[in-house]
Homo-oligomer: A and B are copies of this chain.
């Protein structure tokens, strides 16, 4: 969907003449009351569910949750996935032409925030003729978008479902983002963010960034269970540069794969959007005050072994919502997989979301 009207951004800049890639699943009902928006996190896109014809391994990133007969049942709901501006999977981003210069955006793509994405998503819904969403659903950075929806457009959603998320990043969260960014920015092939013109990609930086990210997505326990101290060979090779332990092999593989398809400028933009999200900031740090104008019902979910966005962070949100006497349900799922758990098919987790959507389907808007 193309948008000719500029999108004003929180930074004071604007994004003009942009396109949003989106997909929908299921059928919008007559009174347009069954729409559910699914917001993506760092490394995902509008392709939430289903597979592309003739393309093996093209399952959507939340295909275990979204589809016919699944917890978010596309027989009942009209599900919308939209790629955020600044991303590298179809919507306007750093790899596109910069209308204000004669080169690609690169590092000149304006800094986008969670709030800006929510505004862009709201415009897409305007075009689709959807006044009010049955729900907005997201995990991690997607959960921040769901929370932001309830603050920016309180009358436009009935339910906010935020999984494995936080009211803002901690200093440690920002620190991990910053190291990953430094790895990318100091890669000589980054060329100040205009590497496209040089025909190169800062793969070294992207690899390191992804390896750091992966460590924070997995729990200590699940890494221990999956890899432990297993050697790649039968005996130690006593090398500083070669792969010695299985965990090293896994991380290098993840880093290599990521560096083949992910855009370096997008990585910077999306981690910055994470850093900046902080709805309490405009209310003197008072999260309860930040939520005062919300109107929807909330479902929060966290995972016990998630040390990136630990349960305590979800409880901060729950407390702020309860301070406002909102309708809140909170599930803390005992799962071993760390932050990644929000993408996995954990039966207790999916049962919570299924019950939530079953209740939403029964409601009369």
Contact = CB atoms under 8 A, between A and B. Distances in A.
A241 B211 contact: no
Interface in A200-259: 204, 207-208, 211-212, 214-215, 218, 220, 223-224, 226-229, 236, 238-241, 244-245, 247-248, 251-252, 255
Interface residues of A, number: 60
Interface in A246-284: 247-248, 251-252, 255, 265, 268-269, 272, 275-276, 278, 281
A183 interface: yes
Interface string A163-201: 000001111101110110111011110000100000000
B182 A247 contact: no
A317 to B, nearest CB: 16
A348 interface: no
A193 B247 CA distance: 23
A75 interface: no
Contacts of A278: 229
A247 B208 contact: no
A107 interface: yes
Contacts of A220: 170-172
Contact of A245 (B11, B174, B183, B252): B174
A186 B204 CA distance: 6
Interface of A: 10-13, 107, 110-111, 168-172, 174-176, 178-179, 181-183, 185-188, 193, 204, 207-208, 211-212, 214-215, 218, 220, 223-224, 226-229, 236, 238-241, 244-245, 247-248, 251-252, 255, 265, 268-269, 272, 275-276, 278, 281
